Structure 1
Amino acid sequence: MLAFSAVALASKDGAQAADIYVEGQLGVAVMEDIDTNTYSGAAGGITVTGAKGTLEYDEEFMFGAEAGVQNFGVQNMRLGFGVKHMNVELDAITLSAGSITDGTTTITNASAKVSRENLGGIAQAFDNNVQLYSFNAYYDIPMEAAIKPFVGGGIGFVDIENADSLEPAFTLSAGARYNLSESVYAGVKADYHFVSGPTDELGIEYENFGVFTAAVMVGMTF
């Protein structure tokens, strides 16, 4: 009973000491090249015949937000929930088999790499709005310096505009924070998101891929 009371008291004290933090993030997202499985079908004015290939995407701006708790009784640990948004545009397609057409523009495996300006309406079929949602845990590395580095990891899901379902995602993080005042901080953060391969609205199945994001952040604690 005495031990239980001590744990309860410690938990109560930790809860009283807990701080809530909220932060905004602005940066860049880089999506890895994405390989597709072989597919034939038609939807939305696009016809795919025995096609298999690789999609390349431009680097894009991203913005995000995160809220969580720190100083909750576990030293140097933070827990948070984050959201990121980005619009990704197809840069090029390389087909290793088959063909894709929108009725006006046709690309085949003999076309080599085809850049966006030569894809016509095909390109828009592979553009996407992407939202990343993640439950994250961070460890703030104890240091005497004013800049506080951290590492972390997370698990969540990705909502891709043209995918037919939400896909699981896993995150690795590293960065640093600097306190501008008692309640305001700034920092930098790099994340690697491993995304399970989706199936899009055309029916094309994709291999697993990664998304790298780098951002500056500004936050407040309460």
Structure 2
Amino acid sequence: MNLAEGVQIVAFGLLAIMMLGTALGVVLLSNIVYSAFLLGGVFISIAGLYILLNADFVAAAQVLIYVGSVNVLILFGIMLVNKREVFKELPGTWLRKGATAIVCVGLFALLGTMVLSTPWSITTVVAPLESSIALIGQHFFTDFLLPFELASVFLLMAMVGAIILARRDYYSDAPPTEKTEPPVFSLQERPRELLSVGSDRPQDRV
């Protein structure tokens, strides 16, 4: 093993630990803002794995699209909608948590079995292409044009929905036809009992 292979193995280990740690933080943390920030760490670590695979364009797209736009969009949506409210615990929470744990363990076992059963040894050496940008652009605008456009539409719908939910508090529940008059400020009157007791003039006494 030469120096370049050692550096690649160490970088892969660090990126894998970073990805797993931030992914667990996204799931386990109760603060949704911290989870959104850690999701950006997951995207960055995946971009680092793409760089190790010599997919420079995919790594740059990962940082620009997922970290620069999707994660920022999620943070804007959370900060527009997030309110400090006391939520009551729903009955049967342990049943939902147990079902979620079973599904997660099943997915982990399935992915682990796939990783162990896949032959990872490279038998043939493939000559690297000069640039994959033209090939990726061709696939984006031919084979994957519909998913590419649908993803942008869904992101736009999510942003508009977050703005509508955030603006709802600024409107009152009263019908638009009713006119609410501004409150009239007035000074409080002095009690008449104090006036009659404190007055010594005979014309003030009845």
TM-score calculated relative to the size of structure 1: 0.17
Q: Which has the larger radius of gyration?
A: 2
TM-score norm. by structure 2 comes to 0.18
